[in-house]
Structure 1
Amino acid sequence: MINTLKKWIYRDKGKVDLMLNHHSLLPGDKISGEFLLKGPKSKKKVSRLECDLMLLDKETNTEKMVEVATTIYMSKVIDDKDWTKIPFSYTLPASMAKCSDDASYRFRTRLIFADNVQSIDHDEIKLTETH
């Protein structure tokens, strides 16, 4: 009973972190980095890793998907001992518009385990006019 209560209170969902090589980019630029994955204390099987390019409206605090950056299906058990690294590469759409102060672009990354438990990470990027 106590262990069940502890698991409910201290849910360990695992972790995902997208580490980008650059955060300031031009439309059409290629961006790269790596996903870092760490499982919960109890080993779990990862079913997929999703990363979407999102447009965030800061005024209304709403997100709109621009496009899917990547979806990686896997059947890998990960634990909390070591970080699992997966390379990331994506070319920004050339038609992306520079955002106003009320909006920004970001990558939303979701690590989804076989039992549908999710871990979510957000990484903001800035569009510039020159490098």
Structure 2
Amino acid sequence: MAANSSSSPDLEELDRAQCMALLGEGGIGRIAFDDGEGPTVVPVNYAVDGDAVVFRTSVSGRLNRSLLTSVVGGEVRAAFEVDRYDEASREGWSVLLRGGVHPLSDEEKTAAAQVEPWPGGEREAWFRLAAREVSGRRVHRP
């Protein structure tokens, strides 16, 4: 089939509102950060909370250790990505958030969107990534 065929999928850039709406259902996304040994990407359960995503992890895990900061009110730079793809139709979307991550205080945990972790075990370290940059793309049939 020719590359310019009318049945070829279109690539559409998504605006911030479209991106946040796609993320709105929550589920599983990937948090990207530097763990001290280089770039690392870890899947997490998340929920959208305003213009941010909230996720939980274990207190003893690498993600918690890497995202904590000794600066009160400080944040760690990170990225968060979610995508969906249908192999049969070859359609899908991808959304990327970039911003600062900080641990939630007990008061913030109470007010934040609730996240149900997928794996068992304690997941008492809560984090919030404030979406400073939001971008997304959708591949769809015309």
Using the size of structure 1 for normalisation, the TM-score is 0.35
Name the structure where strand makes up a greater proportion of residues. Answer: 1
Using the size of structure 2 for normalisation, the TM-score is 0.33
